[in-house]
Amino acid sequence: MEKKSALILVDLQYDFCPLGALPVPKGDEVIPIANKLMDCFDCIVATKDWHPANHGSFAANHPWRKPGQLIELNGLEQILWPIHCVQNSFGAEFVDELNTNLIDKVIHKGTQPGIDSYSGFFDNGHQKGTGLHEYLESESIRQVYVMGLAADYCVKYTALDAVSLGYETFLIEDGTRGVNLKPDDTSNALEEMKEAGVNIIQSSSLVNTEICG
């Protein structure tokens, strides 16, 4: 029997585009790839970074802190970010060019003020699930293909959690871009994913296959 697969689109929101509040250089370039690949999958999940205005990952919510600085947030190391993806704001919307009609399930993450959530599966402390694993199980999904923003944060942690939950996991390299606070962050993230058992592929390798005929 053919294994069922899902496409996971991570955080394709305005704030992660080049003109957004937390810009990912060339982040907008992955949208056409997402649109093309959506035709190939029966099950498409999209995550949304979805923070309340008082979220602890925002530098502006801590006295005198600036984006890029490290703090401890409820016992976990936290990088501080500019205010981004505030619930119901423009920056939290899916990019307009994304063909959202084909999305079967939207998973919101980072909704609790005291804890960040890079992964689409769990918060950063692995205390609470987002419902993504249960959803994929209910659809009998065994393989996941991950792409989106940002390669060195939410995409990386989503792919790593997928592997540790037992999914056969693929990262679509040309479908992701990194923030690169440090220049090597994205290449290090790819290496870390590969070592954990994530298969790094290009979107072109899916065309004319069982997945994308």
Active-site residue set: 11, 109, 154
Q: Name the residue nearer to ligand VGL (CB basis): 23 or 44.
A: 23
C-alpha–C-alpha distance, residues 31 and 190, integer Å: 20
Return the closest-CA partner of residue 149 out of 130, 176, 187, 188.
Answer: 176
Q: Which does 11 bind (CB under 5 to 8 A by kind): ligand VGL, Zn ion, none?
A: ligand VGL
Q: Name the residue nearer to Zn ion (CB basis): 49 or 123.
A: 49
Q: Name the residue nearer to ligand VGL (CB basis): 55 or 133.
A: 55
Instruction: Find out whether 141 and 211 touch, Cβ atoms under 8 Å.
Output: no
C-alpha–C-alpha distance, residues 133 and 111, integer Å: 17
Q: Please tell me whether residue 15 binds Zn ion under the rule CB under 5 A.
A: no
Q: Name the residue nearer to ligand VGL (CB basis): 145 or 153.
A: 153
List interacting residues with ligand VGL (CB under 6 A).
11, 16, 22, 49, 81, 118, 149-150, 153-154
C-alpha–C-alpha distance, residues 204 and 50, integer Å: 31
Residue 212 burial (CB < 10 Å; 0-12/13-18/19+)? middle
Q: Which does 121 bind (CB under 5 to 8 A by kind): Zn ion, ligand VGL, none?
A: none
Query: Minimum CB separation from ligand VGL for residue 20, in Å?
Result: 11
Q: Which does 153 bind (CB under 5 to 8 A by kind): Zn ion, ligand VGL, none?
A: ligand VGL
Q: How far does Cα 142 stand from its chain's mean position?
A: 19
Sign of the alpha-carbon dihedral angle for 101, 132, 25, 111 = positive
Q: Please tell me whether residue 49 binds Zn ion under the rule CB under 5 A.
A: yes
Query: Minimum CB separation from ligand VGL for residue 153, in Å?
Result: 3
Give contact residues for Zn ion (rule: CB under 5 A).
Answer: 49
